[in-house]
Amino acid sequence: MRGLNGQGLTGSSLVLVSAGTVVLVGTAVFAVGCATGGTGLRDGGPARTEAVSKAAPTGPSPDDSSSVSASASGRPLKKVDPVALIMGDPKVSLDMKRELKPCTGKEYPVDVSYGKVTGGPVVDIVVNVLSCADALGRGSYVYRADGGKYENVFSDEQPPVYAEIDRGDLVVTKQVYGKSDALAYPSGEDVITYRWNGERFTEQDRVHSEYSNVVDGGPLPAPATSQKN
């Protein structure tokens, strides 16, 4: 999973965002490498992709994030600028907005997924803001079409965090650190499943995995425990 170490991701859409441009990567299978940095958060490596295509050129200019339309493929027909969504969103913290800058040139560290997660007629947008240095998930947001514009219906700005759509549910992965944990290894990981109830997301399931530190092998997950609501 991009933004969190040690996770694989299959059949997802990676979006490289540059100023005024959204480039979509079609269905791809890739794995994320890992290395541990001084932040104590697990690092994500580069993603391997198979095919690249530009977003459909119909609709308004790329920096117009308010216009909503959907196609049968589950992607908006009109370009949506995720950076404009974040910067214009009053629910996003000022710190996040100040730190969201291009990594190189005009490319921003933002992953975007399009899909149905709130049951509406128009595809929703899941935006993950990453760090430039190590692609760590710094914030996750879900935007739902409402009256011709996109509204923020979910936010998590406690890193490391990464959100994605899984069979109509919102799945958020977070790493857990204890007081005595070395910076290199977290105590475990929480995978939280949220479901839209018509007005907001409610937690449906939480799987907690505890890691045991193994010499020369790094952390290995202990048996996970699941808690359903």
- How far apart CA 215 and CA 219 sit, in angstroms, is 9
User: Residues of the chain with pLDDT > 70: what percent?
Assistant: 57
- Name the pLDDT band for 58 (thresholds 50, 70, 90): very low
Residue 20 pLDDT greater than 50, yes or no: no
| Domain spans in the chain, listed from the N-terminal domain onward | 8-228
Bond before 186 cis per omega within 30 degrees: no
- Please indicate whether residue 131 or residue 64 has the higher confidence score (pLDDT): 131
In degrees rounded to 5, what are phi and psi of residue 120?
-85, 170
- How far apart CA 163 and CA 174 sit, in angstroms, is 9
- Name the pLDDT band for 136 (thresholds 50, 70, 90): confident
Look up the pTM and report it: 0.66
- How far apart CA 154 and CA 184 sit, in angstroms, is 30
Q: Regarding beta strands 8-12 and 107-108, do their DSSP bridges make them parallel or antiparallel, or are they unpaired?
A: unpaired
- Please indicate whether residue 54 or residue 212 has the higher confidence score (pLDDT): 212
User: What torsion, rounded to 10 degrees, do the Cα atoms 45, 117, 197, 224 define?
Assistant: -30
What is the model's pLDDT at position 6?
41
What is the model's pLDDT at position 135?
85
End-to-end Cα separation, the chain, in angstroms: 25
The string of pLDDT tens digits covering residues 61-90 is 334 444 555 555 555 546 789 999 999 999
- Please indicate whether residue 224 or residue 32 has the higher confidence score (pLDDT): 224
What is the model's pLDDT at position 70?
55
Give the range among 43-47, 178-182, 194-198 with minimum mean pLDDT: 43-47
3-state secondary structure at position 126: strand
Residue 170 pLDDT greater than 60, yes or no: yes
Which residue's structure tokens are 């170490």?
Answer: 5
* For range 85-98, the mean pLDDT: 97
